[in-house]
Chains A and B, each alone.
Chain A
């Protein structure tokens, strides 16, 4: 450890001074300073809308700044566009990966700079693959550069992006939520890669919502709140609670507020659900007023359980009982009419209508109740939307705001509002707080707790163990399409769940 520390020199690589930026109606950044040293991993944290992304967009030339200066390696620079930033040695690994799926790994790494053959319009493929292999080897990554991207996992694609960044001789790499789609194991290997980059003198700006990760990897942390700098310090000098406090500007009561509700009658029973390799016989009961956590690694079949119950995927075998009666659920409509709601894991791809107003997004599922002979009664729609905007404290200038323009946490509340407006008996939440900030997270947990108290049965899928442990009354653990463990709130610990989820425990 001591050796690693030494590599972080005090040489200042990048200095952003007094950066300000405003958009119509919002001041996104107010006079922000940011200092990056050579060979450090620098965590950038803050709630959604705090200005992290805006600051990074200015650094990478995507957005122009209103005022302020950027000094790179001692010289003031004016970064004109992303390409220019790349040439200056600043590369970004995006939250949503930006590799081209139909090209090979090598083509992606060398994109736009393909080595030429004897004629200027012919690509020298041998050279291209040799060069890209070198970049991959530098990362110690074992991927054949001739593989098409579409055959790689998300983690591998990320490695390709990093290799691409290095091929530009990047000395600053910005990573925007790089871990959000990775499994624990993949995160570990990403982290060791980041450490080896640091040893090579490359500086990494690491944006993450997961403070655990921040504390395990970064050297320094900078906290932004509402577009302003709150503080920047070596990570060894702060504690998690202090950082949270800096981010939200207030003390969060309990991170996971959960009142225990007395266990009541069974609302939903599933018996022996089977579907290919994804579900190999899943059975469990869900009770009124209960929050049942469904843990497991990515790919263990958790989402398929949810989709099967909601009628989104057909079942090969098994039965579903609601309040003791056997039901057939062939489509989401049938599930909805039985009082089931489903918040999907990828809110942008599966949940939201980004180009439609907030009110429509909330009202769409219950539209029949808001209309007469198929004609929408706008007054009712407006009342409904306003009601939920107030109830769930949805931060929006007005109810006709396009959902695209809202922050992640707010968007998640919009989908929640959609389901709550139907007063469901059973609510399935797949990763309800993925990628949203600490404040909104706590609010969503509070809403869940409130719903459980009102008697709604909640099945929550989550990859974040602290969340599963903090929110659930009972926890099921899945592994390879089966339920391999069940714990009460009192029994459960992170270690026991992880052991089950990785297949370490005997089938119990």
Chain B
């Protein structure tokens, strides 16, 4: 009797284990396959490369995770990234000191995000529509602002954020790592994090429990805008060029990372650990397609199929 019971308990534990870490298993499987297919995959240079390439999506995905946890969505991240980075680059070229220009860019990102937050919380516009609108407007503003031309040749101290490194570690990885840690702390340890989960779980109960629902919504969208701006600076620094067409389609990579990482689009369930693995999975996939010389024309198809497979594998064990 007792042995039967423990057996059953163990089976349940496995199930919980898979639900929580299934995506990790998918990720490791993908790494295993790639390391067998290409001997360049598991080299130090390549690993740093993957991490660096995942960092921009990772930074955006942290904000996206919080928005999605409140049962929202932010489609404007890529466009905000473009608008803030051309504005910042322009200010730099006009001779504004680097810290000041960066602060302005980040504040602009936060303000844009806050604007969609206001639309969602005060005017009750569905997040999909509100951020879709902001995406179109921001992208348009970025194009008009620059007349469609990229802004290049920026101060070296600005480029450091995207192109520099501390010791052997490139700056983008360090920035993304810090953002993940801070995001994790907010979600797991602070009042705000509790409120974000509560709001996503049951908005009506959240309001009746005295949570300032509007403030929480405002925060997550502002944070998402802020992080998009930050990701934009990393990107601009790395390329030493701010392009009004930058960040095109980044919203999909960020949403994919969050959802592959197990955060529910219905809100209230999930977290940043999953998003981290999700972002890495997408990064490794991009990298693998490169290493294996898959034609760029086929890249989207293969990428979509592998993501679907990873999700399927993880639902199957769930």
Contact = CB atoms under 8 A, between A and B. Distances in A.
Interface string B218-256: 000000000000000000000000000000000000000
Nearest to B211: A364
B208 A364 contact: no
Contacts of B205: 344, 349-353
A449 to B, nearest CB: 25
B306 interface: no
B8 interface: yes
A431 to B, nearest CB: 14
Nearest to A349: B204
Contact of A24 (B8, B197, B201, B268): B8
A354 B8 CA distance: 25
A24 B9 contact: yes
B8 A364 contact: no
B192 A355 contact: no
Interface in A342-369: 342, 344, 349-356, 360, 363-365, 367-368
B198 A364 contact: yes
Interface stretch (A9-17, A96-104, A371-379): A371-379
A355 B210 CA distance: 19
Contacts of A350: 202, 204-205, 208
A354 B194 CA distance: 14
Contacts of B190: 371, 374-376
Contacts of B268: 353, 355-356
B202 A352 contact: yes
Contact of A356 (B191, B197, B212): B197
A376 B189 contact: yes
A336 interface: yes
B208 A312 contact: yes
A344 B197 contact: no
Contacts of A342: 208
A336 B198 CA distance: 18
A332 interface: yes
B209 interface: yes
B269 A355 contact: yes
Contact of B191 (A336, A344, A376): A376
Contacts of B8: 24
A366 to B, nearest CB: 9
Nearest to B207: A332
A360 B200 CA distance: 14
Interface in B160-196: 189-195
Nearest to B267: A355
A263 to B, nearest CB: 30
A418 interface: yes
A486 B258 CA distance: 57
A358 to B, nearest CB: 13
B194 A364 contact: yes
Contacts of B198: 353, 356, 360, 364
Count chain A CB atoms within 10 A of each CB in B189, B195, B205 and give the residue with the most. B205
A24 B208 CA distance: 34
A367 B207 contact: no
A333 interface: yes
Secondary structure at the B interface, as helix, strand, loop or mixed, is helix
B28 interface: no
B201 A356 contact: yes
A388 interface: no
A310 interface: yes
Interface in B1-40: 8-9, 12
Given A336-B210, A354-B201, A24 B12 contact: yes
Given A310-B208, A333-B212, A367-B194, A354 B189 contact: no
Interface string A465-495: 0000000000000000000000000000000
Contacts of B194: 360, 363-364, 367, 376
Contacts of B191: 367-368, 371, 374-376
Of A342, A352, A360, A364, which is in contact with the most chain B CB atoms at under 10 Å from its CB?
A364
Given A350-B205, A354-B201, A354-B202, A365 B210 contact: yes
Contacts of A349: 202, 204-205
Interface in A279-305: none
B208 A353 contact: no
Interface string A20-55: 000011000000000000000000000000000000
A24 B9 CA distance: 7
B210 A333 contact: yes
A307 to B, nearest CB: 9
A25 B10 CA distance: 12
A303 B210 CA distance: 18
A336 B206 CA distance: 13
Contacts of A352: 202, 205
A451 to B, nearest CB: 19
Contacts of A335: 210
Given A371-B190, A375-B190, A376-B190, A332 B202 contact: no
Contacts of A374: 190-192
A374 B216 CA distance: 13
A367 to B, nearest CB: 5
A227 B269 CA distance: 32
A504 B214 CA distance: 45
Contacts of B193: 376
A363 B210 CA distance: 12
Contact of A332 (B12, B189, B197, B210): B210
Contacts of B206: 353
Contacts of B211: 333, 364-365
A114 B24 CA distance: 46
A332 B209 CA distance: 7
Max chain A C-beta neighbours (<10 A), residue from B191, B193, B195, B268: B191
Nearest to A342: B208
A258 B157 CA distance: 74
A360 B202 CA distance: 13
A371 B209 CA distance: 17
A354 B267 CA distance: 12
B2 to A, nearest CB: 13
Contacts of A356: 197-198, 201, 268
Contacts of B12: 24
Contacts of A371: 190-191
20 contacts: A25-B9, A310-B208, A332-B209, A333-B211, A342-B208, A349-B202, A349-B204, A349-B205, A351-B208, A351-B209, A352-B202, A354-B202, A360-B194, A364-B195, A364-B198, A365-B209, A371-B191, A374-B191, A376-B191, A418-B209
Interface of A: 24-25, 310, 312, 332-333, 335-336, 342, 344, 349-356, 360, 363-365, 367-368, 371, 374-376, 418
Given A335-B210, A353-B205, A354-B202, 19 more contacts: A24-B8, A310-B208, A332-B207, A332-B209, A333-B212, A336-B210, A349-B204, A350-B202, A350-B204, A352-B205, A353-B198, A364-B198, A367-B194, A371-B191, A374-B190, A375-B189, A375-B190, A376-B190, A376-B193
- 10 closest Cβ pairs, A-B complex: A353-B201, A336-B210, A365-B209, A333-B210, A367-B191, A355-B201, A332-B210, A24-B12, A350-B204, A365-B210
